[in-house]
Amino acid sequence: MLNAEEWGIVALSLKVSACAMLGALPLAFALAYLLARGRFPGRILLDALIHLPLVVPPVVTGWLLLLAFGANGPAGRWLERAFGVTLMFRWTGAALAAAIMALPLMVRAMRLSIEAVDRKLEGAARTLGAGPWRTFLTVTLPLSIPGILAGLVLGFARSIGEFGATITFVSNIPGETRTLPLAIYAALQMPDGDAMVTRLALISVSLSLAALVASEWLARRSGHGRGGHVL
């Protein structure tokens, strides 16, 4: 099976992706809610911006992250000064890259499930004495939970596989930013790395497959039989 180094790579990948999902979840849900329910000028533009990482070459996204969060980038300098946090060449930067790349898929899945919530049920809750917040917490949110989970799982799968933006932004540093795909890439460059490539590739495929199956299963449960597909 895997040796200690490879387990370390898997553990780092899971840590990076888990943190990416934790950070992206509230933002993705807020954006999904805004797109599903909001009627404001610039909605189409916001929608397009969110989907940008899906279509722009990942290396470009990585370069933009470098510009913004690098040592001389405005966001990077602010984080350094305010919190003493550096993202460049750190695993936290890998998590940021993974979160940005996963965001479009997460927003998409969550938005579908929010749109599937029958607004008449919210009206019913209001007449029964629930204010807007309670209505959101007791009706809208629970009814969109399957889509939120589907978005999380899908985003997790996407972030596990994240390569281009990560290697551009935080490089390929063993033990710090060398996640599964980056380790596979590094092993491919080594003359005797074939066995390692095979093992790590198998791990990646099983992780992604499990996540996709889980996400489809959850999406089918949302919409109460009407079947919303995220893929």
Partner 1 sequence: MSFEVDATVARGKERLSVRFASKRGITALFGPSGAGKSSTLDMIAGLLRPLDGRIVVAGEVLFDSAQGIDLPPERRACGYVFQDGRLFPHRRVADNLRYGWKLAPPERRWMSLDVATSFLGIGHLLDRMPATLSGGEAQRVAIGRALLSGPRFLLMDEPLSSLDAPRRAEIMAVIERIRDELALPILYVSHDRAEVDRLADQVVELG
Residues that bind partner 1 (CB under 8 A): 118, 120-121, 123-131, 134, 138-139, 142-143, 224
Find the shortest distance in angstroms from Cβ 43 to partner 1: 22
Nearer to partner 1 among residue 30 and residue 124 (C-beta): 124
Nearer to partner 1, 130 or 201 (CB): 130
* Residue whose CB is less far from partner 1, 114 or 139: 139
Least distance (Å) between residue 138 CB and partner 1: 8
Give the C-alpha separation, 81 to 75, whole Å.
Answer: 10
Smallest gap from Cβ 115 to partner 1, in A, equals: 16
CB of 223 to partner 1, least distance (A): 11
What's at 192, amino acid-wise? D
**Least distance to partner 1, CB of residue 124, Å:** 4
